[in-house]
């Protein structure tokens, strides 16, 4: 099953009072494993950036001034989202801003039936515990040391790992579905790489390189021959008794 884990950054807390979405980051998962495919975009909000919001995510109006309007790259975003369920932390907030942007340009809102809220999942699994993304990363041993400020793609990558844990977990030591964050110093104010991104950017492949194809289960003829030779060197094998 294909799912999209996403996060947004905004100018404030309420789109009904004129706040706008300024960043979105999306991580594709198939059968609860991150594929390495992501979507990331910054947007010009056409308004000021309150100091309180900038302190959270580090995105200033000067940084966002040359970024495209949401309407310019919306089709790229919707193509990436497809019809998959959309996973977010306190999802009502992110859906509210995303659907507000769609409404402002006369596009159909995304159905709330597609919404998966990890706060609700965490509250059910850990009643009475702290439910912030930072708290859940600490609970599940997920490294967030590179999270200096909020960033939509970085937070979506962290949330993807939290989501796996909330829905059954994984063997962390084997790295099943784990993806390394591909953040380095760049043009984004908080040090997260924007990868030259002035609009929407679809990123395919592993976060730190090309996507690795799965190994075929059938051994090669060479591997079978090496195995035969190895078995012949074992003296008095138990299976020969």
- Which CATH number goes with the domain that contains 190? 3.30.420.10
Residue 170 burial (10 A CB sphere; 0-12, 13-18, 19+): middle
Q: Is residue 239 part of a domain?
A: no
Label residue 215 by pLDDT band (50, 70, 90).
low
- Residue 222 domain-assigned (yes or no): no
Tell me, yes or no, whether 113 lies in a domain. Answer: yes
Is 23 a member of any domain? yes
Mean pLDDT of the chain: 83
Q: Which residue has the higher pLDDT, 214 or 131?
A: 131
What are the structure tokens assigned to 66, written together? 């040359």
Counting residues of the chain whose pLDDT is more than 70, the rounded percentage is 77
Domain count, the chain: 1
CB–CB of 118/88 below 8 Å? yes
Find the range with the poorest average confidence among 98-107, 125-134, 147-156, 165-174: 165-174
Please give the residue range of the domain that contains residue 100.
Answer: 2-215
- Residue at token pair 């308004």: 47
- What is the pLDDT confidence band of residue 230, given thresholds at 50, 70 and 90? confident
Domain presence at residue 224: no
Task: Kindly state whether residue 237 falls inside one of the protein's structural domains.
Answer: no
Residue at 100 is within a domain: yes
Output 93 or 182, whichever has higher pLDDT: 93
- 57 belongs to the catalytic site: no
**Catalytic choice (57, 150, 217, 227):** 150
pTM: 0.70
Looking at residue 208, its pLDDT comes to 43
Residue 198 is assigned to a structural domain of this protein: yes
């Amino acid at each position: 099953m294909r799912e999209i884990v996403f996060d947004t950054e905004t100018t404030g807390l309420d789109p009904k009072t004129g706040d706008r979405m300024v960043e979105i980051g999306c991580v594709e998962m198939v059968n609860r494993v991150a594929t390495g495919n992501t979507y990331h975009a910054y947007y010009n909000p056409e308004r000021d950036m309150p100091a309180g919001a900038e302190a959270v995510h580090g995105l200033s109006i000067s940084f966002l001034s040359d970024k495209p309007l949401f309407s310019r790259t919306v089709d790229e975003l919707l193509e990436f989202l497809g019809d998959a369920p959309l996973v977010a932390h306190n999802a009502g907030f992110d859906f509210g801003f995303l659907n507000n942007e769609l409404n402002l340009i006369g596009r159909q809102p995304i159905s709330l039936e597609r919404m998966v809220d990890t706060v609700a999942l965490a509250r059910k699994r850990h009643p009475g515990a702290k439910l912030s993304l930072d708290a859940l990363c600490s609970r599940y041993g997920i490294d967030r040391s590179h999270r200096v400020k909020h960033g939509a793609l970085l937070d979506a990558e962290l949330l993807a790992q939290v989501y796996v844990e909330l829905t059954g977990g994984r063997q962390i030591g084997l790295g099943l579905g784990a993806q390394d964050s591909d953040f380095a110093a760049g043009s984004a104010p908080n040090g997260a790489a924007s990868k030259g991104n002035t609009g929407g950017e679809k990123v395919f492949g592993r976060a730190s390189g090309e996507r690795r194809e799965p190994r075929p289960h059938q051994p090669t003829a060479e591997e079978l021959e090496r195995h035969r030779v190895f078995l012949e060197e074992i003296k008095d094998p138990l299976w020969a008794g």
